[in-house]
Chains A and B, each alone.
Chain A
Amino acid sequence: MFRRERSIPLRGSAAALCNNLSVLQLPVHNLTHFGVVHGPSAQLVSAAPEGVPLAQRQLHAKERAGVSLPLITQVHWCVLPFRILLVLTSHRGIQMYESDGSVMVYWHALDSGDASPVQAVFARGIASSGHFICVGTWSGRVLVFDVPAKGPNIVLSEELAGHLTSVTDIASEHAQEQDPAGEKGKGSLCLSPQDCIADMVTADDSGLLCVWRSGPEFKLLTRIPGFGAPCTSVQLWQGIVAAGYGNGQLCLYEASTGTLHAQINAHARAICALDLAPMVGKLLSAAEDTFVHIWKLNRNLKNGCIEVEHCHGECVPDTQVCGARFCDPSGSSLAVTGYDLAEILRFSSV
């Protein structure tokens, strides 16, 4: 069971985008940072545990003079080994800030070179993988940025080809978290256990998923084809890919092989956000049908199969949800944003 907690007011309403909420948990400081896209601006709010707002900041997409303000597509905190950066993607390019949004440390302008006039040009899909930050683009290319431990010397190190349509979302997890004992590689065709451990997955508008292994050079491990609906949100946990689609379906795949293990008719409208509480294997799905569902993922130790069960569903009345995140590692609290809503809704389990 969940109960409503105190909402956090926003200066501007949330835009109708997918994955429109990023949360940075800072338990050491007793703080939680929230990031929401309004349109041409994004809002960062810091709150104390009870949801009391403490600080606010607005960030804008870099603009060209004489042209209308470009729209932001996503805002997301990237936790890297030695620092945390806030990444903002827009129709102009990619901006990276220190974690509190105070200083921009890097700007990358998108190259719209071979785009047709009818093509919208934008960056979308943000995830960190080791000391890399990966950002998706309108063309399907995924840009890989090498981030130093400190300072602004961020470098575009690689462009991943794998998608032919616009990237929607990227998810990653540390390879070590998945398989500390190196068990997974056994019995498969990989040369070594490390070869097969997937630690990043990218998704696109056609529903295609690409599973990668990060490194100085990223390696494409497998592709999971779509079925017509865009894959709007994706998560990766213990070698399990969780993918939410525009037709309301939620699917679980074995990352290393691409095998479908679960298919859930989860929502009546497009799924717009997925999030994980990795410590407990909880997954949340939020959709435009006003519902947020919590699921428990599990690996059957006997046969290695992936299992899932439904834990709880919450209706956010008359709200087209556009973002949802767990607010603590145990998954006992969550935050939700909705289109046209100028507040962050908070829930905690009782």
Chain B
Amino acid sequence: MSMRTLPLLFLNLGGEMLYILDQRLRAQNIPGDKARRDEWTEVDRKRVLHDIISTMFNKNFIEELFKPQELYSKKALRTIYDRLAHASIMRLNQASMDKLYDLMTMALKYQVLLCPRPKDVLLVTFNHLDAIKGFIRDNPALVHLVDETSQQLIEAYGGLSAGEFQLIRQTLLTFFQDLHIRVSIFLKDKVQNSNGRFVLPVSGPVPWETEVPGLIRMFDHKGKEVKRTEFRHGGNYIAALKEGSFELYGDRVLKLGTNMYSANRPVETHTSGASKNLASQSQQSIAPNPLAKEELNFLAKLMGGMEIRKPSGPEPGFRLNLFTTDEEEEQAALTRPEELPHEVVNIQATQDQQRNQELARIMGEFEVTDQPRWSASKGDDLLAMMDEL
């Protein structure tokens, strides 16, 4: 499939993650003077977002991200977000991390599916980046970093043809295939059906550069129009209004990719069907080599570009709960099926000394609660060393 998809996937999922975290942190917000030591304040919230955003847009990381590569599996990509979510003082337990990832992926699936044109996924990405800049607008250096990434997007994607964008779209949809987790905010807005499938409207403006269906024109040998008829299309479409801007700044027109967790709405980040769907997914994806060596090599390189700043001093990790109550979170943790393939893969390189040190450093900072069980195949330098406990 397309080798240009990873930046779009990563930046958009990252954007959704920030929307959700921002919303949850606001929901648990305590006024600064009244807060106990372990409760969230406005200052804490801004700090969490700042830390995650600065890690996300780290120059080395972005450079690795934009290199042509195949799309990672969902498992592999999840490890990047696990790490990103912990790039701050915030701590999420596995159940909350699962839920966060479910919400992120379903939101982006919805956005990609409903993009009028394949190229509009770029507008979705700009919407996310515009909102991210809003989170850190009081930090010009960080805004500049995000702008540089926007510039790279324009350079990498600005000149692609419609055909290339279609391949990108197909690649993204392959990534999201068979995910049908029900998200309450989608169900409420009637953009998702109770069977987990998204509603595809047959009304509204047609995409830019598409005509409203219904007209048939016929021409003779010389190219002269000789007949014009109309047919009933079945939908209720109107002409496209205007094209969104693909510049650094501008009116994107498209609403997909903007923050749907606005401050006014009560937060409902309830998901259901997760365990059932992921269990059936894990059955399908039990292949002999779930994280192929090549993929792991790319992943290690990418993560190598991630700079995590360890929290200084004896600060407690602030715990964030994605569920409404602590009891719900505990319950979700208990009902997670055993074979859920979410665990972070523990890698120990042996032969390549330099890579070994780098990876050990990266992986050492991870908090892994469970050791996964994978069987090693002999001769693989990077993939082989999964702990057998």
- Report A's interface with B, CB cutoff 8 A: 12-13, 15-17, 39, 66-69, 71, 91, 117-120, 165-166, 168, 204-206, 228-230, 232, 246-249, 254, 257, 259-270, 289-291, 303-310, 313-315, 317-320, 339-340
* Given known contacts A120-B2, A248-B210, A318-B197, A268 and B174 CB-to-CB distance under 8 angstroms: no
* Given known contacts A268-B210, A289-B235, A67 and B292 CB-to-CB distance under 8 angstroms: yes
Q: Which residues of B contact A246 (CB under 8 A)?
A: 118, 162-163, 166
Is A340 a contact of B178 with CB atoms below 8 Å? Answer: yes
* Docked pose: A209 CA to B79 CA in angstroms: 44
Is B217 a contact of A263 with CB atoms below 8 Å? Answer: yes
Q: Which residues of A contact B167 (CB under 8 A)?
A: 120, 166, 205
16 further interface pairs, Cβ-Cβ under 8 Å (given A262-B217, A265-B216, A339-B173) = A13-B177, A13-B178, A39-B177, A66-B293, A66-B294, A67-B293, A68-B294, A119-B3, A120-B167, A166-B163, A205-B167, A266-B213, A304-B221, A305-B226, A314-B234, A340-B197
Of chain A, the residue at the smallest CB distance from B211 is: A265
Is B215 a contact of A265 with CB atoms below 8 Å? Answer: yes
Is B163 a contact of A165 with CB atoms below 8 Å? Answer: yes
Is A228 a contact of B221 with CB atoms below 8 Å? Answer: no
Is B234 a contact of A205 with CB atoms below 8 Å? Answer: no
* Given known contacts A16-B173, A309-B229, A320 and B200 CB-to-CB distance under 8 angstroms: yes
Confirm or deny: B231 has a beta carbon within 8 angstroms of a beta carbon on chain A: yes
Q: Which residues of A contact B215 (CB under 8 A)?
A: 264-265
- Report B's interface with A, CB cutoff 8 A: 1-4, 67-68, 70, 73, 113, 116, 118, 161-164, 166-167, 169-170, 173-174, 177-178, 180, 193, 197-200, 202, 206-207, 209-221, 223, 226-227, 229, 231-235, 237, 284, 287, 289, 292-295, 380
Q: Which of A66, A166, A229, A261 contacts B219 (CB 8 A)?
A: A261
Q: Which residues of A contact B287 (CB under 8 A)?
A: 69
Is B221 a contact of A305 with CB atoms below 8 Å? Answer: yes
Is A165 a contact of B210 with CB atoms below 8 Å? Answer: no
Is A291 a contact of B219 with CB atoms below 8 Å? Answer: no
Of chain A, the residue at the smallest CB distance from B233 is: A313
Main SS class of interface, A: loop
Q: Which residues of A contact B294 (CB under 8 A)?
A: 66-68
* Docked pose: A270 CA to B229 CA in angstroms: 22
* Docked pose: A315 CA to B233 CA in angstroms: 10
* Docked pose: A12 CA to B281 CA in angstroms: 11
Q: Which residues of A contact B219 (CB under 8 A)?
A: 259-263, 305
Q: Which residues of A contact B211 (CB under 8 A)?
A: 247-249, 265
* Docked pose: A183 CA to B147 CA in angstroms: 64
Q: Which residues of B contact A69 (CB under 8 A)?
A: 287
* Docked pose: A71 CA to B170 CA in angstroms: 11
Of chain A, the residue at the smallest CB distance from B230 is: A310
* Docked pose: A249 CA to B235 CA in angstroms: 15
Q: Which residues of B contact A67 (CB under 8 A)?
A: 292-294
Is B231 a contact of A310 with CB atoms below 8 Å? Answer: yes
Q: Which of B4, B193, B199 contacts A118 (CB 8 A)?
A: B4
* Docked pose: A341 CA to B206 CA in angstroms: 24
